[in-house]
Chains A and B, each alone.
Chain A
Amino acid sequence: MSAGHHHERPASEAELRARALEALLVERGLVSTDAIDAVVSYYEQDVGPQNGARAVARAWLDEAYRGRLLERPGDALAELGFGGMEGHNMTVVANTPAVHNVIVCTLCSCYPWPVLGLPPSWYKSEAYRARVVAEPRAVLREFGLELAADVDVRVWDSSAEVRYLVLPMRPPGTGELAEEQLAARVTRDCMIGTAVP
């Protein structure tokens, strides 16, 4: 859907301003409608948490791939065709029985687009950015995640150009599942660290 189509309710000031910027640049031929559509569609259809989930499932099944994913994450993700903007310097952090990882960007909204797509609204919220570095267990509890007191919670604040992906632990009782079935168990929040599969 492009801007300018019929709206059932009056556009907000914010919407009108955003649409006006697009209209100005499109009217002058500086930006094309289809190029905007292409970016929107890229992150709605082609790139999203299904990418990260595939890498996680592969790592659960293939010990050598897991090693590469942790040691040379950029190359290991490129093997599956994943890479690009906001994923130039990937670090994959593995959960263990003793360590639980969570990612955040307190200054902005940095997030590994090539493997998770665009972040959920809560990830960009003031509340998450403010609180998860200061009271991570209280935040995780809001997501229904209660960790044992002796687990080291490691919160990764993406303050430079490195982007993080959490490699969750494979859930018990999944020994028979194939890669696709395993990938279906891996939600976006599992790879941010606010859930476990």
Chain B
Amino acid sequence: MDGAHDMGGMHGFGPVAVPGGELPYHERWEPRIFALHLLTGFEGLGAGPGGRQTREEMDPAGYLAASYYERWTWSAEQRLLRKGTIAPGEVEAMMARLAAGEAAPEHEDPAMSRRVVERLQRRAPMDPPPADARFAAGDRVRVRRMRPQGHTRCPRYVRGATGTVERVHGADRLPDLTTYGEPARPEPVYSVAFASPDLWGPSDEPPFTVLLDLWDSYLEPT
């Protein structure tokens, strides 16, 4: 989906190093909504595409206007609504109760605490590279032109560009399909190196290299 989240190369956002930027968050509700979002997934309380894919569905103006953790709040709410875990209007009703000074409920479940930490520590590497991967290190490849309606991991700024396969990372299913529950076979994922002039043309900076991890489906031979 070619939304506002696909930011590589955009102008106008100003400096990176700004006061407060060193901290992961600034208010206590921010790590809590992060945690709640993870729990929504782990405990099966949400439905539809995952959190990241859901955030990409925000309208572009809304996405850019929202803070990072406001986006997470939005995707958590959408996923809970889609599953039917909460009903339309319930969030607003609870907001009114809290704004009126009502104490938030508390509930302890040590088993859930243990479960969530175990889940954070669980290891799940992708499959090793297939022996018959279409491309090998050193091959020149071109990224396909595309304008996908749904989730993709192929950013706009590399489409149509030619690069060199650096290595084969492993095999993974194409998120463009799995996000929507569509069947997908594991396919090679490559690290592809692009020379900066091939992405951006002439620049004030000396040439540099940008490397992306791209699924086989995104690539074609040159």
Contacts and interface: CB of A to CB of B under 8 A. Distances in A.
A154 B211 contact: yes
B219 interface: no
Given A17-B77, A18-B73, A127-B16, A25 B45 contact: yes
A43 B40 CA distance: 18
A159 B155 contact: yes
A130 B10 contact: yes
A184 interface: no
Given A15-B27, A18-B73, A127-B13, A137 B205 contact: yes
B177 interface: no
A24 interface: yes
Contact of B5 (A30, A107, A135, A154): A107
Given A91-B169, A152-B208, A34 B108 contact: yes
A14 B70 contact: yes
A20 B29 CA distance: 10
Interface stretch (A62-70, A77-85, A165-173): A77-85
Contact of A118 (B24, B97, B105): B24
Interface stretch (A1-9, A52-60, A175-183): A1-9
A94 interface: no
Given A126-B7, A135-B205, A157 B210 contact: yes
Given A133-B8, A159-B155, A18 B69 contact: yes
B80 A106 contact: no
Interface residues of A, number: 83
Given A34-B109, A107-B5, A162-B213, A78 B154 contact: no
Given A11-B99, A38-B116, A40-B31, A88 B123 contact: yes
A20 B117 CA distance: 24
Interface in B1-51: 5-11, 13-18, 20-36, 38-40, 43, 45
A22 B32 contact: yes
Contact of A122 (B16, B33, B97, B124): B16
A35 B199 CA distance: 45
Top 3 closest A-B pairs, CB basis? A4-B104, A32-B109, A160-B213
Given A20-B95, A133-B9, A136-B208, 17 more contacts: A22-B104, A25-B39, A32-B108, A34-B109, A35-B109, A38-B35, A88-B124, A118-B25, A120-B21, A129-B8, A136-B205, A138-B205, A142-B17, A160-B214, A160-B215, A161-B213, A162-B169
